[in-house]
Chain A
């Protein structure tokens, strides 16, 4: 916008105080508002134009003043005009909207990650440090935050109008959205996708805090176990480490440092390992077999909650070496009192 920042602030504050605009509380909001204002102007100009044409023609050519109509076939020039000008305006709306879309959905690389699980009818937020919240989310001001979200049941939609962001929360796949809050305060969190009886009760508050307050909050709210620590325990208790342990004899691929790398699968596909891939590989392993390995991993569908999956994903994401995995293995083996399972039986599993 060529508008001076002072004027823009004045205008937006006025619109907000007149209850026509939500608060501008994220870095995205001014961009969305600028496009919105332009489109509103387009609508007003367009509607006024049509209304003026109708009123002026109606007054000028009403039957009393114009008893006989003059037949006109059409006019290629005029018709081309009102084909091309609206098309041009709509194309501007398209390009501008597309640029905004990519701005909204491309997170900056330094964004911190928080997991969101939606379920009928609550929002659960899980911070990597192990802080859990329900229908609330605490975030620091001036720090890009990326949300990795999934639904445990039906479609939900995570909407924060004051940030101008919204993203569908889908069962069975991760979706992400990011924002950077610019103002300390509390803001509405809505579920905007109809999700059943208490849809309108699936609301919460986003609390934006100063960096220091946020640190204090993190320390006071921790459950004592980070997500990755929970994940590590799951990793051992689900028996993941019996194959994925990085030893020479391991039957599953080594997972240390796998996050963010490119994998080649047995069907030849090249895949970037991200949160979604890890989740899919746990739930549907036979479709995600790393090249060089046998498809022997059982599915964990139905055995892990979305929270558990998030813990596992977070653990694998942060796994830099297999040292602790192997330690767990040794501890588990030495802790076994009963005779061990014969090796060939283990091989059949």
Chain B
């Protein structure tokens, strides 16, 4: 190991002699059944990785089709009803089958036991079940697609979905209903694991911030998702039997649907972003060699986001004739929920101060996250501000805003995390140069795609339009051009990560010199994770502890 100060912290074992460990979780057992019936959280994480990637590219294909159609003002690539099915599928797949399960399903499953110093999650069988439930929901979604599609929009708005569409609404609603249970099971598993399975010495305030973020997100999953389930069942019942909950002709209230739906779907935004924030904390700390600035504030801001997140749903309904006084309250609460996010951003920025910073790919994705999420968050303030919302809501401004948060935030964090823990998951490094290129490409492509949409939104272009007035074409062409770049940016990692499985450099146990417990064991980890139960005898993000430990190891070996 060289100690010369370079521009990288990567320290790999000598490649001529290095080998992967003889026994690890991947080669411990062979055969399809050993994967399909596994209770190992690490293998389940890989199952999730394959499935969310699969769905991501299907959802991405629909995004591509949407952007292609919008190249011209007329609905000439596809007719309006097909276009409606495209954006519905794009939304359903990206939200329920990618963003919600991506980071918790892949990184949460893989890392929570490792970071806690545990052998597995609290309920391994439940964990496997959650993947099967997810796959059942995913398959049913694809069935709805193959059978002819569904055009409700991902929001299933009643009474449109209950009385006026003759597509596969019930199939899609049941698919999402089922997928929701996967999320609930994951949430319960994480909460119990974090409460009960921390290794000796691992107090709450010695937990990596990744765990705090997942804990907060899990609370949202467990408390919010059932409300979505109820809503979808009501939609199905109303459609099948006309029970009249949402139908005004039967004394129902269509606004009730909006309340119920957004009661889940706003917190869902935090389900998608909080785990991402957890990833960012780990990466920023590692590549600046510093404890996260204001650890406690960052930890509690996750919990604050989860708490406030439940009380802002009505900001989706400001123009729907809700009482002005309740609109005032919800607008105020919306402003409050923006504050913890601002705290996090500044704390990450100041973690860099006086650090010793290197710029490997995960860090580049992190910087991308910080820039894009800041824009996403601040444009959220526009929409939370009552009078401003009137002009902006239901336009492309909203589309741009939530893509900045969900894609610029959530997806960037996912990619940061995948690159960061790739050596731990597979034992091999990804190729650094091309992955940096991918990170930069994604950042540029993303901005080119979504910045024009803010302008389109202020000009008044409504969302979900298959055809639009010709004066909006220039900005739409720009956006489609950006989407093309973005598409390349997302294809690259899939290719080189697959390549690295065979040809990547052997990573060794701790290529980043990171402090987490997961880095102190072999890569890929053995099935039982830790040969002896670790003891957390130091603070989290303690780089001095790590330096001492490394020094002692060298002396003992020497």
**Residues of chain A whose beta carbon lies under 8 Å from any beta carbon of chain B:** 19-22, 31-32, 35-36, 39, 42-43, 46-47, 50-51, 53-54, 57-58, 61-64, 66-75, 78-79, 82-83, 86-87, 90-91, 93-94, 96-105, 120, 153-155, 157, 159, 161-162, 164-168, 170-173, 175, 188, 190-201, 203, 284, 301-302
A141-B398 Cα distance, complex, nearest whole Å? 31
**CB within 8 Å for A19 and B80 given contacts A64-B7, A302-B249:** no
**Residues of chain B whose beta carbon lies under 8 Å from any beta carbon of chain A:** 5-9, 75, 80-81, 84, 151, 153, 155, 157, 159-160, 163-165, 248-249, 251, 253-255, 288-291, 293-297, 318-321, 324, 327-328, 331-332, 335-336, 338-339, 342-343, 345-347, 349-350, 352-359, 367, 370-371, 374-375, 378-379, 381-382, 384-391, 393-395, 455, 458-460, 462-469, 471, 474-475, 543-544
Verify A155–B460 contact, CB threshold 8 A: no
Verify B458–A170 contact, CB threshold 8 A: no
Query: Which residue on B lies nearest to A84, using beta carbons?
Result: B339
A88 to chain B: closest CB distance in Å? 10
Verify A57–B160 contact, CB threshold 8 A: no
Q: Which of A46, A120, A192 contacts B395 (CB under 8 A)?
A: A192
A97-B384 Cα distance, complex, nearest whole Å? 8
**CB within 8 Å for A98 and B331 given contacts A87-B339, A159-B460:** yes
**SS of A interface (majority):** mixed
A235 to chain B: closest CB distance in Å? 22
CB-defined A-B contacts under 8 Å, sample of 26: A20-B459, A32-B388, A47-B375, A57-B349, A58-B352, A63-B5, A67-B356, A69-B354, A72-B290, A74-B294, A75-B293, A79-B297, A83-B343, A86-B339, A90-B381, A93-B388, A154-B157, A154-B160, A166-B319, A166-B393, A168-B320, A188-B469, A191-B462, A199-B466, A201-B80, A302-B249
Verify B465–A164 contact, CB threshold 8 A: no
Verify A39–B370 contact, CB threshold 8 A: no
Contacts A161-B395, A197-B84 aside, 14 further interface pairs with beta carbons under 8 A come to A20-B455, A47-B375, A61-B354, A70-B354, A94-B331, A96-B385, A100-B386, A100-B388, A101-B324, A154-B164, A173-B248, A192-B394, A199-B466, A200-B468
**SS of B interface (majority):** helix
A162-B469 Cα distance, complex, nearest whole Å? 14
B386 to chain A: closest CB distance in Å? 4
B94 to chain A: closest CB distance in Å? 17
Query: Which residue on B lies nearest to A199, using beta carbons?
Result: B464
CB neighbours of B75 from chain A (8 A): 200
Verify B378–A42 contact, CB threshold 8 A: yes
CB neighbours of A61 from chain B (8 A): 288, 352-357
Verify A36–B467 contact, CB threshold 8 A: no
CB neighbours of B466 from chain A (8 A): 199-200
A-B Cβ contacts below 8 A, count: 307
Verify B382–A90 contact, CB threshold 8 A: no
A283 to chain B: closest CB distance in Å? 9
Verify A301–B249 contact, CB threshold 8 A: yes
Verify A159–B394 contact, CB threshold 8 A: yes
Query: Which residue on A lies nearest to B288, using beta carbons?
Result: A69
A21-B392 Cα distance, complex, nearest whole Å? 12
CB neighbours of A64 from chain B (8 A): 5-7
Query: Which residue on A lies nearest to B289, using beta carbons?
Result: A69
**CB within 8 Å for A93 and B384 given contacts A54-B349, A61-B357, A172-B254:** yes
Verify B339–A83 contact, CB threshold 8 A: yes
CB neighbours of B467 from chain A (8 A): 200-201
A140-B502 Cα distance, complex, nearest whole Å? 73
Verify A75–B387 contact, CB threshold 8 A: no
A193-B158 Cα distance, complex, nearest whole Å? 12
CB neighbours of B289 from chain A (8 A): 68-69
**CB within 8 Å for A35 and B385 given contacts A161-B391, A161-B460:** yes
Verify B249–A172 contact, CB threshold 8 A: yes
CB neighbours of B6 from chain A (8 A): 63-64
CB neighbours of B160 from chain A (8 A): 154-155, 194-196
Q: Which of B159, B319, B357, B468 contacts A66 (CB under 8 A)?
A: B357
Verify B324–A105 contact, CB threshold 8 A: yes
Query: Which residue on B lies nearest to A94, using beta carbons?
Result: B335
A70-B255 Cα distance, complex, nearest whole Å? 55
CB neighbours of A102 from chain B (8 A): 324, 387
CB neighbours of A73 from chain B (8 A): 291, 294-295
Verify B153–A194 contact, CB threshold 8 A: yes
Verify A22–B331 contact, CB threshold 8 A: no
A7-B386 Cα distance, complex, nearest whole Å? 27
CB neighbours of A67 from chain B (8 A): 5, 356
Chain A CB within 10 Å, residue with most, of B163, B293, B386, B474: B386
A100-B164 Cα distance, complex, nearest whole Å? 35
Verify A82–B320 contact, CB threshold 8 A: no
**CB within 8 Å for A93 and B353 given contacts A36-B388, A166-B394, A188-B460:** no
CB neighbours of B370 from chain A (8 A): 50, 54
Verify B390–A101 contact, CB threshold 8 A: yes
Chain B CB within 10 Å, residue with most, of A190, A192, A194: A194
A320 to chain B: closest CB distance in Å? 30
A246 to chain B: closest CB distance in Å? 30
Verify B387–A32 contact, CB threshold 8 A: yes
A81-B443 Cα distance, complex, nearest whole Å? 30
B226 to chain A: closest CB distance in Å? 25
Query: Which residue on A lies nearest to B301, using beta carbons?
Result: A83
Q: Which of A20, A75, A101 contacts B294 (CB under 8 A)?
A: A75
A63 to chain B: closest CB distance in Å? 5
Verify B390–A72 contact, CB threshold 8 A: no
CB neighbours of A159 from chain B (8 A): 394-395, 460, 462
A41-B468 Cα distance, complex, nearest whole Å? 29
CB neighbours of A82 from chain B (8 A): 342-343, 346
CB neighbours of B385 from chain A (8 A): 35, 39, 93-94, 96-98, 100
Verify B460–A190 contact, CB threshold 8 A: yes
Query: Which residue on B lies nearest to A287, using beta carbons?
Result: B251
Verify A91–B335 contact, CB threshold 8 A: yes
CB neighbours of B458 from chain A (8 A): 20-22, 36
Verify B374–A50 contact, CB threshold 8 A: yes
Verify B375–A43 contact, CB threshold 8 A: yes
A284-B248 Cα distance, complex, nearest whole Å? 11
A199-B155 Cα distance, complex, nearest whole Å? 15
**CB within 8 Å for A100 and B387 given contacts A19-B471, A79-B347:** yes
B323 to chain A: closest CB distance in Å? 11
Query: Which residue on B lies nearest to A97, using beta carbons?
Result: B385
